[in-house]
Amino acid sequence: MEKNQYIVALEIGSSKIVGAIAEKTSAGYLSVKHLQEEKHLNSVRYGIVQNVENIKSSINRILKNLEGMVDGRITQVYMGVSGRSLHSSVSEVNRSVGSTEPITRELIDRIIHDATSTPIRNHDTVDIVPRAYYVDKVETTNPVGQFGSSIKIKVNLIVAKPALKLNLNRLMTFGIPAKDYIVTPLAVAEQILTDSDRELGCMLVDMGAETTTVAIYKNGALIFLNTLPLGGRNLTRDVMNGLSVLEETAENVKKNINNPLDPSNVSNVVIEGVSAREAANYIAARTGEIIANINQQLADAGVSSDGIQSIVLIGGGAHLGGLQQKLEETIKIKVRLGQNPPTLNILNNEINRMEYIEVFSLLAKAADMIPEGETCIELNKYEDGPVFEGNIPVQQPQQPSQPRPRTEQPKEPKTRKPWSKWAEKLKGLMTEDDNDDE
């Protein structure tokens, strides 16, 4: 009987760290019921780890708690990669080939690898995503097996500042290695976008605490990826600084305004000592800036709004009241909220929430990547019954003890004491005197 595989994934955001475990059966069935998170402030800025020791301690606690939930030992994890400097860069490689031999998968892999031969200044390549193939200048979706005299491959290099991945490596110095690094927005897009989304044109917008990542797909392939240094926390800080309140108060006010993006129609009520209408003015202004930057990504990608059929909105900031409608009105593209990966069965209702869509997508992607027979967790094993060490001497059974026979002692003949007669007489006299006194 084949054993189930366990996959562990970590997602580090600007406001929290989330770790989760998925179980994959031999039939490919994928489920998750264990998740742990720790919120933090200022240890991660714009998705890049600033305080390695603080985040390392949080990760250690998360993994220890997860180990207790499954009664096992975590041996490796899949780590999500995201952050301010993460973006795509297009690279093309042309190669002349012999027209008498078919194009092979090995040749394609070598050409794609050559695309990274020219480094991008101050950036590391964290992933390579093929965008288009051309055989004899004719575009094709799959060149393997075709014949031609030339082949051109256009790829998206997913790059980031060296500090992004360097600090992720530093986090895993307490004994549990990172099995692999997965670009989080690509994993999310792969798991929650449909084939129609990617073919007809779709923009995936992940609005987090301090960054907003935009991934654009067209004709079945990724054509653009960029990370903006703006997110939901910017709205909170504007309220905090503009109205001189604590960040926690500003966050609660933001969440409790029904539609802060339409300040003129916000009731002039006071929430925790803050005017809702005044707070809405700050929130609407900053949100307008974020939407304008999202719209600019279409132009930077060389795509018109007519070429995109839908926007899929995810992330903690996606639940801001009125954001979906405002985004749709401004960019003129239909907007919907993303849903958790359909391939993942979430068994625990307490964690079945959209705020965990990133770590769920990492688990689903890692389940496709993990080699057969490999696992991220070694479960503890227990033997039935008590376990003894060493040679235990065999004791002979004891015979039941026989009762000891009783020995009768000879009885001495009763003899009358010589003074007994006088004692009886004396007793009789004393009895008579007592009766007289009554």
Q: What is the mean pLDDT of residues 283-290?
A: 97
Spatial separation of the C-alpha atoms in residues 437 and 10, rounded to whole Å: 108
| 415 pLDDT more than 60 | no
**pLDDT confidence tier of residue 400, bands split at 50, 70 and 90:** low
CB within 8 A of 98, min separation 6: which ones?
A: 149
What's residue 393's pLDDT?
Answer: 54
Q: Pick the residue with more confidence: 383 or 43? A: 43
The CA distances from residue 313 to 115, 214, 265, in Å, are: 32, 10, 24
Q: What is the pTM of this model?
A: 0.83
Identify the top-confidence range among 143-147, 170-174, 276-280.
Answer: 276-280
If you average pLDDT over residues 282-287, what whole number do you get?
97
Instruction: Give pLDDT tens digits for 195-227.
Output: 999 999 999 999 999 999 999 999 999 999 999
434 pLDDT more than 60: no
On the question of pLDDT at 10 being above 80, the answer is yes
Assess whether pLDDT exceeds 80 at residue 277.
yes
For the stretch 297-335, pLDDT in tens is: 999 999 988 999 999 999 989 999 999 999 999 999 999
Pull the structure tokens for residue 159.
């790059």
pLDDT in tens, 119-135: 788 899 999 999 999 99
Q: Give dist(CA 105, CA 145) in Å, integer.
A: 8
Q: How far apart are CA 400 and CA 39, in angstroms?
A: 69
From the list 311, 310, 12, 317, the residue with the least C-alpha distance to 171 is 12
Where would I find the H helices in 46-120?
Answer: 52-70, 105-114
Q: Residue 433 — pLDDT band, cuts 50, 70, 90?
A: very low
Give the CA count within 13 Å in the CB-facing half-sphere of 85. 17
Mean predicted confidence (pLDDT) in 122-149 = 92
| Per-residue pLDDT at 436 exceeds 50 | no
Q: Can you tell me the mean pLDDT for 262-266?
A: 93
Both tokens assigned to 252: 């609660």
pLDDT greater than 60 at residue 376? yes
Query: pLDDT tens digit string along 174-184?
Result: 678 899 999 99
For residue 416, what pLDDT is reported?
A: 46
Is the pLDDT at 389 greater than 60? The verdict is no
Question: What type of residue sits at position 51?
Answer: N
Beta-sheet pairing, 30-39 with 344-346: parallel
Q: What is the mean pLDDT of residues 372-384?
A: 87
Average pLDDT taken over every residue of the chain: 87
Question: What confidence tens digit (pLDDT) does each residue in 191-200 have?
Answer: 999 999 999 9
The pLDDT of residue 418? 43
- Res. 360 pLDDT band, cuts 50 70 90: very high
Domains of the chain: 5-85+161-379 (3.30.420.40), 87-160 (3.30.1490.110)
Q: Are strands 310-314 and 334-337 parallel, antiparallel or unpaired?
A: parallel
* Averaged pLDDT, 149-167: 91
Residue 18 CB partners (closer than 8 Å, separation 6+): 10, 11, 35, 36, 37, 62, 356, 358, 359
pLDDT in tens, 48-96: 888 888 888 999 999 999 999 999 999 999 999 998 899 999 999 898 9
Q: In the 8-state DSSP scheme, what is residue 313?
A: E
232's CB contacts (< 8 A; 6+ apart) are 207, 208, 209, 315, 316, 317, 320
* pLDDT (0 to 100) of residue 165: 83
- pLDDT of the residue at 383: 67
133, 155 Cβ separation under 8 angstroms: no
For a pLDDT cut of 90, what percent of the chain falls above it? Answer: 67
C-alpha 337/C-alpha 319 separation (Å) is 9
Nearest by Cα to 48 from 172, 229, 215: 229
Rounded-to-integer distance, Cα 362 and Cα 357, Å: 9
Which residue from 167, 148, 142 is spatially nearest to 54, judged by alpha carbons?
Answer: 167
Predicted confidence at residue 49, as pLDDT, reads 84
Give residue for tokens 């009763």. 414
Sign of CA dihedral 126, 132, 133, 137: negative
Q: What band does 437 get if pLDDT is binned at 50, 70 and 90?
A: very low
**Closest listed residue to residue 212, CA positions, set 298, 303, 296, 314:** 314
